[in-house]
A and B are shown apart, each in its own frame.
Chain A
């Protein structure tokens, strides 16, 4: 496994970016960097997703645990302090140290396995946002890496389960603030998949989740109100391009169909903006199509606005505004101006990084209220969009 990581760190291949999670607040994620032209859409995955966190559903074993704890004499969490005060201290330990805390003793392990610890962190404003990035090696294997902005550290995630190690065209999204989902996609041998797995940032492990209803790859996805939506894409067979769409509610742990799209499409870009999910993609005759899904009325409608016409990957919807690149390396940004219905120059940092593929921006994600630009070489720039003149730029190369 070390070898895989070693190799991946040398490779500047396409990768995807997944937004903050850990025990975080809200996030977006964006997929493959490879897509630069509409024609490239079929080769690379694309799309961007909005992920909104909500509370983790509490597990039944929580009450069981506390009962067990009450009925048994056990050592204090911190000798010399009542447990409630010990917890007040331990919740302030940064996330990067949590795997170590679990190793100290069994009680600390149980404390960190429960929801109470993380809900305390959240209510005290201690929850952290991290950026999760998926990267594909030259040998086509994928690996995930997490960026901790506080300590400016990259960490590898445990290896992706076998079904996904070489998958193409799968979706990724964050649900419930700390679960990184991978869904659908195409395995080089088995073909299109319904498979869904997720990584729990609190336990640092991968788990299986219920399969999607349809096999699909190269589809669009987004998160609205902590529900995961997928639409369109491809499936091997007679009907290559799909119209169908589904939603997954993590609390009910169930997929269900939503209204079909008006036309079958392979989406290559998507965003949740103004309460609707906008997708732009290629129809079955390779024509460019745009649609918007309104979750309130469960209906798709074609869109033909200047927003969609000038919309390019990667983009991001943040604080109600829609941002996109105005230069491939992200040194300039554009914003969509509602009043004039046009895309306008937003920031020119005057810090052009270069035109190489490695420096191109692969994705835009929100990070602690700022706009975070992830480049192909896994360096990161951060822009404070609330004060465009006061641009903060940070770079961090992977290793």
Chain B
């Protein structure tokens, strides 16, 4: 892939090692890993073993899967990447939240966008009650307060049918 050939010596691909918070090590080509801004900066500073204390093995495995796939990105496999992304964001909120935190920590912008958008999309067309259930948010409005807020926005709800399901 197009990447920092400056550090690749005599055709040999430069390898880096990522170490998860559980102590597991993953060896990867530099060209894949530098999608991640945080690591890119460490590589520029001369590191080749990168300890990631905020990322556990399970999350790091997923992130490596994402980076590998996206390193293959070309003009012709857009559809494939799109399908990969769609599959990638399936999973429990716990896993997704772990991934968002890791993507944020590692500064992988594309992954941040993908995950945040997928979490946001869970809200679309859902009823208020379903949104609370999905995200485990407790309703701190009194019935009167809630009615008042509802009144403020009743014009926006007319004719709208909301989905009460939780998926």
Contacts and interface: CB of A to CB of B under 8 A. Distances in A.
Interface of A: 2, 5, 75, 78-82, 85, 88-94, 97, 99-109, 155-159, 203-205
Contacts of A2: 158
Interface in B123-165: 123-124, 126-128, 131-132, 135-141, 145-146, 149-150, 152-153, 155-158, 162
A203 B149 CA distance: 11
A383 to B, nearest CB: 28
B112 A100 contact: no
Interface of B: 93-94, 97, 100-101, 104, 112, 116-117, 119-121, 123-124, 126-128, 131-132, 135-141, 145-146, 149-150, 152-153, 155-158, 162
A105 B149 CA distance: 10
A89 B119 contact: yes
A75 B153 contact: no
A85 B113 CA distance: 11
A80 B155 CA distance: 33
Contact of A85 (B101, B137, B141, B149): B101
The 9 closest A-B pairs by CB, nearest first: A92-B120, A99-B153, A99-B156, A89-B119, A89-B116, A80-B97, A103-B128, A158-B155, A93-B120
A92 B135 contact: no
Nearest to A80: B97
A105 B139 contact: yes
B120 A106 contact: no
A205 B120 contact: no
Nearest to B162: A100
Given A80-B94, A85-B101, A102 B149 contact: yes
Given A106-B141, A204-B152, A204-B156, 15 more contacts: A78-B119, A78-B135, A78-B137, A80-B136, A81-B97, A81-B101, A85-B104, A88-B100, A92-B116, A99-B152, A100-B127, A105-B137, A105-B138, A106-B145, A156-B155
Nearest to A109: B149
Secondary structure at chain B's binding surface: helix, strand, loop or mixed?
Answer: helix
A205 to B, nearest CB: 7
For B104, B127, B136, B156, which residue has the most chain A Cβ atoms within 10 angstroms?
B156
Nearest to B151: A158
Contact of A155 (B123, B138, B156): B156
A81 B100 contact: yes
A158 B154 CA distance: 8
A369 to B, nearest CB: 21
Contacts, number: 100
A88 B116 contact: yes
Given A85-B100, A88-B116, A89-B120, A103 B153 contact: yes
B98 to A, nearest CB: 9
A205 B152 CA distance: 7
Contacts of A99: 152-153, 156-157
Given A79-B137, A80-B97, A92 B152 contact: no
A103 B140 contact: no
Contacts of B135: 78-79
Contacts of A104: 128, 131-132, 137, 139
A95 to B, nearest CB: 10
Contacts of A155: 155-156, 158
B137 to A, nearest CB: 5
A94 B156 CA distance: 14
B63 to A, nearest CB: 15
Nearest to A100: B128
A93 B123 contact: yes
B109 to A, nearest CB: 11
Contacts of B139: 104-105
A156 B158 contact: yes
A46 B55 CA distance: 61
Nearest to A101: B123
A99 B131 CA distance: 13
Contacts of B123: 93, 97, 100-101
Contacts of A89: 100, 116, 119-120
10 contacts: A79-B137, A80-B93, A82-B101, A85-B97, A89-B100, A92-B116, A92-B117, A100-B123, A102-B152, A105-B132
Contact of B138 (A5, A75, A94, A109): A75
Contacts of A90: 120
A8 B162 CA distance: 25
Nearest to B139: A105
Nearest to A1: B155
Contacts of A85: 97, 100-101, 104, 116
A276 B127 CA distance: 48
Contacts of B145: 106
B124 A93 contact: yes
B105 to A, nearest CB: 10
